Amino acid sequence: MHVQVPDSVSTLGPCGGCAHCLTCEARSRSICSVISPEHSARLARYSHRLSVPQGRSFIEEGQPAEDFFIVTSGHAKLFSLMPDGRRQITGFANTGQFLGLASGKTYAFSAEALDALTLCRFSRSGLSTLRRDFPALENRLMEEASRELVQAQSRMLLLGRKTARERLASFLVEQHHLQSGLDHRPPSDRTLTLPMSRTDIADYLGLTIETVSRTLNALQREHLIVIRFVTLITLLDLAALEAMARGD
């Protein structure tokens, strides 16, 4: 069990000078991979591990952007809300992902844990120090920003111009590529474990839950996918889904 702290998240331990970075499971997939292991102590001095329970929010849009985060395990959703409650999920975050680039003085999005989540927190000043001391970090952050911008472009195309079928196909193919990159899976495994609800998928794709449900079932009827459980989907015809995602 973890200990509650005022700002709605929980620390796993003080870790003031400990070497959590040396044993970090997310390291190879995060910006920290550019810092060699012998400098782990430096890294650890400016970062703190914390855990966030499922459903708990840990970044609030509009709040001063004082901290940056790296996801060390679990999944998060990043979203914007309109005053009447309309929601747009701007992205999902997996292990290794850096959070906070899309911020000026304040965060441009809110973030919430989809499942049990652990994070590594950096203060703005701590990260500045690290960036100064490890110039390779600068490049890696820039790459991260570029990658996110490229992704943002394709999401604009999806949200602005694709049909519901194309959106779902794009989503499934994207999840496949994300999950096939993971260590413990055989590359031929075409079964997805979705960490998010139908509501989240709808808010990610700019659709309603009904349309998501109906469209997934339509894809199943056409033998492109099999819905084994709500959160477990097998892609039967990846090439066809990729073609549909592109819109041809």
User: Residue 159 interacts with DNA (CB under 7 A)?
Assistant: no
CB of 197 to DNA, least distance (A): 4
CA dist 194 and 45 (Å) reads: 35
Which of the choices a copy of itself, DNA, none does residue 197 contact, using the CB cut-off of 5 to 8 A by kind?
A: DNA
User: Residue 87 interacts with a copy of itself (CB under 8 A)?
Assistant: yes
Q: Which pair of structure tokens corresponds to residue 136?
A: 């390779």
Do residues 66 and 100 make contact, with C-beta atoms less than 8 angstroms apart?
Answer: no
Interaction pattern, residues 47-66, with a copy of itself; x per rule: CB under 8 A: --------------------
Which CB, 61 or 189, lies closer to a copy of itself?
Answer: 61
Classified as helix, coil or strand, 128 is helix
Which CB, 190 or 203, lies closer to a copy of itself?
Answer: 203
In this structure, the chain runs to a length of 248
| Of positions 108, 197, 238, 242, contacts DNA by CB under 7 A | 197
User: Residue 177 interacts with a copy of itself (CB under 8 A)?
Assistant: no
Which of the choices a copy of itself, DNA, none does residue 226 contact, using the CB cut-off of 5 to 8 A by kind?
A: none
Interaction pattern, residues 112-151, with a copy of itself; x per rule: CB under 8 A: --------------------------x--xx--xxxxxx-
- Across 115-137, b (16+ Cβ under 10 Å) vs e yields eebbbbbbeeebbeebeeebeeb
Of 37, 117, 34, nearest in space to 70 by CA: 117
CA dist 137 and 146 (Å) reads: 14
Which CB, 22 or 156, lies closer to a copy of itself?
Answer: 156
Which of the choices a copy of itself, DNA, none does residue 164 contact, using the CB cut-off of 5 to 8 A by kind?
A: DNA
User: Residue 88 interacts with DNA (CB under 7 A)?
Assistant: no
Beginning with the edge strand found earlier in the chain, give each strand of the sheet holding 98-99 in spatial order: 3-4, 10-11, 47-52, 117-123, 67-73, 98-99
Q: Would you give the distance in Å from CA 169 to the centre of its chain? A: 19
- Residues within the interface to DNA (CB under 7 A): 163-165, 197-199, 206-214, 216-217, 227, 230-231
